[in-house]
C-alpha cells in the first residue's frame, strides 16, 4: 500500500485490468455498431448468452458494455429476461438534435481553437474519406468514418464533459439515419462534413460554428422530410 493509502497493483494485476477494460471497450463498440446499423433491431429482446456469442468476448466485458449502452439510452436492462434494444421515435430524434446542436457548437469552437497540426490534418483526412465512401455508396464505411471523425474532433476540443454528453446523441442520430433510410443523402451530407472539417482545421471558431450549424440543419431537414413521407 502506498503512503497515501491507495492500493498499488503489481504489473500482472494492472495488465489484467487493462485487458478487461479493452475487452469491455471492444464489446461496447461491436454492440453499439450493431444497434446503430439496425443489425439489432429496435424493440428486439436478447439474452446475455446471445450477446456474448455476437461480440465474441466473455460475460464480464459484455455486462460492462451493456451498462454503458443503457446509460446512453440504447438498451434497457430487463431483470431475469435479458436486454431490450430501445425503440426509435421521431420525438426523441428531434429532441436529440436540439441538444446535439448546442453541444456541437461548443465542441466545434474548442476544436478550432485547440487542435494541434496533426489533429487538423487527421480531421480533414477523415472527412475526405467520408466523401470517398459516399461516392462509392459504402454506407457502413461512411458511418464508421463519421463516428471516427466525431471522436477526432472531440479529442481536439479537449472538452470531456461536452464529449460525453454528445456521444449518445450522435449515436441516436446515426441510428435514426439508418432507420429512416437516409442512404440517398450520403453525398450531400459528406459535403457538409468536409466543409465542417475545413472550418475546424482553419482554426477559426466562428467558421467552425457556422459549419456545424449548417450540418445540423441539413440533418434536421432530411429527417423531417423523411418523417413527412411516413
Quote the CA–CA distance of 72 and 162 in Å, as a whole number: 14
The mean pLDDT value for 164-191 works out to 91
Element (H, E) at 103: helix 90-114
% of the chain with per-residue pLDDT over 70 = 90
Pick from 98, 58, 59, 92: nearest CA to 73: 92
Domains of the chain: 11-85 (1.10.10.10), 90-229 (1.20.120.530)
> What phi and psi, each to the nearest 5 degrees, are found at residue 76?
-120, 135
| pLDDT above 90: residue 49 | yes
pLDDT of residue 2: 41
pTM of the model as a whole:
0.84
The mean pLDDT value for 193-221 works out to 97
The mean pLDDT value for 162-169 works out to 95
> What phi and psi, each to the nearest 5 degrees, are found at residue 87?
-70, 165
Element (H, E) at 141: helix 139-157
Within 13 Å and on the Cβ side, how many CA atoms surround 131? 14
Element (H, E) at 78: strand 75-78
**Residue partners of 92: CB distance under 8 A and separation at least 6:** 172
Among 3-12, 44-53, 63-72, 151-160, name the one with the lowest average pLDDT.
3-12
E strands, 5-61, are 45-46
Element (H, E) at 162: helix 160-179
The mean pLDDT value for 59-86 works out to 94
pLDDT digits (tens, 9 = 90+) for 144-163: 999 999 999 999 999 999 99
| pLDDT above 50: residue 8 | no
pLDDT of residue 80: 84
**Across the chain, what does the average pLDDT equal?**
90
What distances in angstroms separate CA 61 from CA 17, 20, 26, 49, 53, one per listed residue?
A: 11, 7, 8, 13, 12
> What phi and psi, each to the nearest 5 degrees, are found at residue 203?
80, 15
Amino acid at each position: 500500500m502506498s503512503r497515501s493509502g491507495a492500493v498499488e497493483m503489481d504489473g500482472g494485476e494492472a495488465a489484467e485490468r487493462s485487458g478487461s477494460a479493452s475487452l469491455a471497450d471492444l464489446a461496447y463498440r461491436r454492440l453499439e455498431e450493431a444497434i446503430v446499423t439496425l443489425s439489432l433491431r429496435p424493440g428486439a429482446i436478447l439474452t446475455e448468452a446471445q450477446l456474448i456469442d455476437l461480440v465474441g468476448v466473455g460475460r464480464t466485458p459484455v455486462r460492462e458494455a451493456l451498462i454503458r449502452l443503457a446509460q446512453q439510452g440504447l438498451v434497457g436492462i430487463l431483470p431475469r429476461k435479458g436486454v431490450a434494444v430501445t425503440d426509435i421515435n421521431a420525438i426523441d430524434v428531434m429532441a436529440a438534435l436540439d441538444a446535439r446542436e448546442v453541444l456541437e457548437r461548443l465542441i466545434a469552437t474548442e476544436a478550432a481553437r485547440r487542435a494541434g497540426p496533426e489533429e487538423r490534418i487527421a480531421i480533414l483526412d477523415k472527412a475526405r474519406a467520408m466523401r470517398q465512401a459516399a461516392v462509392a455508396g459504402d454506407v457502413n464505411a461512411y458511418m464508421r468514418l463519421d463516428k471516427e471523425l466525431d471522436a477526432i474532433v472531440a479529442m481536439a476540443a479537449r472538452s470531456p464533459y461536452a464529449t460525453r454528453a454528445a456521444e449518445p446523441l450522435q449515436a441516436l442520430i446515426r441510428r435514426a439515419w439508418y432507420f429512416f433510410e437516409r442512404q440517398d443523402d450520403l453525398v450531400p451530407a459528406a459535403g457538409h462534413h468536409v466543409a465542417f472539417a475545413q472550418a475546424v482545421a482553419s482554426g477559426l471558431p466562428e467558421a467552425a460554428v457556422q459549419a456545424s450549424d449548417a450540418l445540423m440543419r441539413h440533418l434536421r431537414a432530411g429527417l423531417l422530410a423523411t418523417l413527412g413521407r411516413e
